[in-house]
Structure 1
Amino acid sequence: MIFEFDLFDIFYIMFFMGFYSLCINRSHLLMILLSFEFILVLIFMSMVIYLNFFDMEMYFSLIFLVFSVCEGVLGLSVLINMIRMHGNDYIQVLNIL
Structure 2
Amino acid sequence: MMMILNMMWVVLIMFILGNMIFVSKHKHLLIVLLSLEFIVLSIFLFMLMLFSFIIYDMYMLMVFLVFSVCEGALGLSILVSMIRTHGNDYFQSFNLL
State whether TM-score is above 0.5: yes
Aligned residue in 2 for 1:39: 39
Aligned residue in 2 for 1:81: 81
**Once the 2 structures are TM-superposed, how far is the Cα of residue 6 of structure 1 from its aligned partner?**
2.5
Report the AA paired with residue 55 of structure 1.
I
Distance in 2 (alpha carbons) for counterparts of 1:64 and 1:93 = 34
SS in 2 for 1:80: helix
Identical pairs, percent: 47
Which of structure 1's runs of 4+ aligned residues deviate more than 2 A? Answer: none
Number of positions where the alignment pairs a residue of Structure 1 with one of Structure 2 = 93
Please, which runs of 5 or more residues in structure 2 have no aligned partner? none
Please, which runs of 5 or more residues in structure 1 have no aligned partner? none
Alignment TM-score, normalising by the size of structure 1: 0.91
**Once the 2 structures are TM-superposed, how far is the Cα of residue 43 of structure 1 from its aligned partner?**
0.3
Q: Following superposition of structure 1 onto structure 2, how do residues 50-65 of structure 1 map, counting pairs within 5 Å? A: 50-65=50-65
**Once the 2 structures are TM-superposed, how far is the Cα of residue 9 of structure 1 from its aligned partner?**
1.6
Alignment TM-score, normalising by the size of structure 2: 0.91
- What is the root-mean-square deviation of aligned Cα atoms in Å? 1.0
